[in-house]
Amino acid sequence: MLTAAAACMLIAGCSQNSYSSQRKAEDRLIAQFIQRNNINVLTEEPADDYEWGENDYLLVPGVENLYFHLRERGDSTDTDGQDTITISPISTNETVVVRYKKFGLEENADTLSYWTILDQSYPMEFKYLNTASCEAMGWHYAVKYMKYTNAECQIICPSKQGFTEDQNSVTPYCYIMRIRIKR
């Protein structure tokens, strides 16, 4: 009886659906997506005035397999009457409203689009660096680099940096995000 239980545990531990095998499959999927899309991986954070090439993606320092690409810098200045004022970058707990498209990394992936929902131009909002308002840490990292209203980015987000349902299924996604900062 004890031998049968040990054999069952051994078989279950070697299952192709183990978390370890799912993580390896996720890593392969991300690597294939990067290769297939000719992504140029930057390993050092570029300066604020860096001109992002179409395929330049930053491997976010200290975060495994999270890649960030700035598509649009956003509004760092505003005209108030005749004066041009500098807008400060986002701060902790400021409200971020987001429009986004979510799609898988497979070669012929479906797009799960949330760009607009009914009449809401920005259907999702969260407090920056407050994980209680948005558990997807990949989004918080992205906003850190976006900094300003009307910024747009694309991120390759591994499951560990995604939403709870993505973490549970070990599913990476790519997001195109546009933000507004409520002040």
Structure tokens at 127: 């407090």
Domain 18-182: assigned CATH number: 3.10.50.40
Residue 48 has which token pair? 């604020």
pLDDT at 68 over 70: yes
Token pair belonging to 120 = 């809401």
Sign, Cα dihedral of 95, 100, 104, 107: negative
Query: Where is pLDDT greater, at 163 or 2?
Result: 163
Instruction: Give the model confidence (pLDDT) of 88-117 as tens digits.
Output: 889 999 999 988 888 889 887 666 655 554
Place of tokens 């300066």: 47
Residue pair 123/32 in contact by the 8 Å Cβ criterion: no
Rg (CA), the chain: 20
Mean pLDDT of the chain, nearest integer = 84
**pLDDT-based confidence at 81, cuts 50/70/90?**
low
- Could you identify the residue written with the tokens 């920056």? 128
Take residue 11 and report the two structure tokens written for it: 């078989």
pTM: 0.83
User: According to the model, what pLDDT value does residue 6 have?
Assistant: 44
The mean pLDDT of 128-156, rounded to a whole number, is 92
Strand partners, 59: 67
